[in-house]
């Protein structure tokens, strides 16, 4: 009798296993066991959570036991003892400028641009320079947990190729500016280059090509309008610096009798496809206009402090309903690195000291700016910015094993004020692991570092510094 009962039990167990296996969906990757900071609409935080990934997207997020019940995968990443977050979004930068890092600091933005950086660019920037600068930037950004960035520079087609090779997601703006640029010498050339660039990358899973009129102080009304019209023909976003210095505001008031934001609106540039970097000099009327037009703003605290440009009224913009993301700005003259985790920390502290109020901008708000609000600011909130079914599998695992990481009472406070870029351990973009246990998998890091040192020497020589 006892033997019969045993046989029946084994048979039942086998049937249960077969039924379970048949009801389980085969997927490509499970990230399991960590504390998942989802940044979804309810801002759910799931302890001992699991994320199921199929192809480049997330199919489910929930308690690990539920995920394991419904999904099976040959590949599993153990996230126990770690925070799992949506990848950070660097909403404004100029990545090839990594190779000018630290070239000339401690000067005004106007002097830095016209006396130093524009001449240095004229002498050194070519397609090869842009490729190596982008590779260096990709290594640095992945190491700080950045999975998506928005860029404005020259030879942006080469930036696109290198970003894609590194496995990064990017919105890449080819610069329009009213003087001969390192790649295109006239507005006609800029238009034709950018149209080709837009056509080439349409429908790419990682790269979004865009025109980037530099600013109202370097572009005529015609250049601004032509760049915007081109963007709209191809349903591409428009990247632009907006209200980033006092002189820009004063000149706009003098020339157009209105603020930079009002001027851009008056010529038809503002719209739900615009990604506006800085937005420092924006009064209540401008803030209302930015919200009404669904413009995304990107706050760059390091850059604004380093250049003493001013302080963007981030809390006011958020209250007015504007999507505000975070950016590093270029890694030369205005930061000088691409560490977005540092910007998270500084955004909160800069807002607090400016308002002399420690409640001005809290940890949760600045983590939102680096993730879901950053996605809204670059108009990609349907694809990225949170960990939930249907979104791209862009995520980071952050170690909690360093002295600066323990104990942990509040995940948002830990991310904003305690954790460092060096705590980022594993990075996944579109389901592809691009860094595992601190090792970059898509970039030959030693070769990139060596080449960057060589460029340092040749840039110094070109400027007669050696």
Contact set with Zn ion (CB under 5 A) = 329
Q: How far apart are CA 21 and CA 19, in angstroms?
A: 6
Q: Which is nearer to Zn ion, 144 or 300 (CB)?
A: 300
Neighbour count for residue 167 (Cβ, 10 Å) = 22
Q: Which is nearer to Zn ion, 124 or 215 (CB)?
A: 215
Alpha helices (H) along 30-114: 64-70, 109-111
In 3D, which of 246, 247, 161, 231 has the Cα closest to residue 379?
231
Please give the span between the terminal C-alpha atoms of the chain, in angstroms, as a whole number. 94
Q: How far is the CB of 19 from Zn ion (least distance, A)?
A: 57
Q: How far is the CB of 291 from Zn ion (least distance, A)?
A: 22
Q: How far is the CB of 94 from Zn ion (least distance, A)?
A: 6
Q: How far is the CB of 84 from Zn ion (least distance, A)?
A: 31
Q: Which is nearer to Zn ion, 83 or 238 (CB)?
A: 238
Closest residue to Zn ion, judged by C-beta, is 329
Q: Which is nearer to Zn ion, 102 or 205 (CB)?
A: 102
Q: How far apart are CA 190 and CA 194, in angstroms?
A: 6
Token pair in block for residue 194:
């950018």
Residues with Cβ within 8 Å of residue 423, at least 6 apart in sequence: 398, 399, 400, 402, 404, 405
Q: How far is the CB of 318 from Zn ion (least distance, A)?
A: 21
Q: Which is nearer to Zn ion, 317 or 415 (CB)?
A: 317
Token pair in block for residue 437:
């246990």
Q: Which is nearer to Zn ion, 329 or 373 (CB)?
A: 329
Q: How far apart are CA 449 and CA 28, in angstroms?
A: 33
Strand pairing category for 296-299 and 323-326: parallel
Looking up tokens 């460029």, which residue turns up? 455
Q: How far is the CB of 264 from Zn ion (least distance, A)?
A: 16
Q: Which is nearer to Zn ion, 112 or 263 (CB)?
A: 112
Q: How far is the CB of 426 from Zn ion (least distance, A)?
A: 30
Q: Is the distance from CB of 190 to CB of 231 less than 8 angstroms?
A: no
């Amino acid at each position: 009798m006892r033997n019969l009962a045993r046989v029946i039990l084994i048979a039942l167990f086998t049937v249960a296993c077969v039924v379970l296996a048949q009801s389980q969906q085969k997927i490509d990757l499970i990230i399991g066991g960590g504390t998942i900071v989802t940044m979804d609409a309810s801002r759910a935080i799931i302890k001992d959570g699991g994320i199921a990934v199929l192809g480049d997207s997330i199919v489910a997020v929930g308690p690990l036991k539920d995920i394991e019940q419904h999904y099976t995968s040959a590949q599993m990443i153990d996230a126990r003892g770690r925070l799992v977050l949506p990848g950070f979004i660097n909403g404004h930068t100029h990545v090839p400028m990594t190779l000018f890092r630290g070239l000339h600091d401690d000067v005004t933005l106007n002097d830095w641009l016209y006396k130093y950086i524009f001449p240095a660019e004229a002498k050194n920037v070519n397609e090869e320079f842009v490729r190596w600068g982008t590779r260096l930037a990709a290594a640095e950004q992945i190491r700080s947990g950045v999975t998506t960035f928005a860029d404005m520079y020259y030879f942006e087609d080469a930036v696109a190729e290198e970003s894609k090779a590194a496995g990064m997601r990017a919105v890449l703006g080819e610069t329009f500016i009213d003087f001969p640029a390192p790649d295109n010498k006239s507005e006609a050339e800029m238009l034709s280059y950018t149209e080709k660039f837009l056509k080439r990358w349409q429908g790419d899973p990682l790269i979004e090509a865009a025109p980037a009129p530099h600013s109202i102080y370097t572009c005529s009304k015609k250049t601004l309008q032509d760049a915007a019209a081109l963007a709209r023909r191809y349903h591409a976003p428009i990247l632009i610096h907006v209200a980033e210095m006092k002189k820009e505001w004063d000149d706009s008031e003098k020339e157009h009798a209105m603020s930079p934001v009002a001027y851009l609106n008056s010529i038809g540039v503002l719209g739900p496809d615009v990604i506006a970097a800085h937005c420092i000099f924006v009064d209540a009327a401008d803030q209302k206009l930015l919200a009404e037009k669904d413009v995304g703003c990107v706050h760059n605290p390091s850059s604004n402090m380093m250049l003493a440009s001013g302080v963007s009224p981030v809390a006011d913009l958020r209250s007015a309903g504007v999507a505000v993301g975070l950016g590093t700005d270029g890694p030369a003259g205005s930061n000088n690195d691409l560490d977005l985790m540092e910007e998270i920390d500084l955004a909160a502290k800069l807002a607090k000291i400016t308002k002399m109020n420690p409640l001005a901008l809290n940890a949760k708000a600045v983590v939102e700016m680096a993730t879901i609000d950053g996605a809204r600011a670059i108009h990609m909130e349907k694809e990225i910015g949170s960990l939930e079914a249907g979104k791209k599998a862009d995520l980071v695992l952050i170690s909690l094993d360093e002295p600066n990481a323990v104990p942990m009472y509040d995940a948002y406070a830990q991310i904003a004020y305690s954790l460092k870029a060096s705590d980022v351990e594993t990075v996944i973009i579109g389901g592809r692991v691009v860094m595992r246990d601190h090792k970059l998998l898509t970039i030959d890091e030693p070769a990139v570092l060596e080449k960057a040192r060589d460029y340092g020497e040749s840039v110094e020589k070109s400027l007669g510094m050696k």
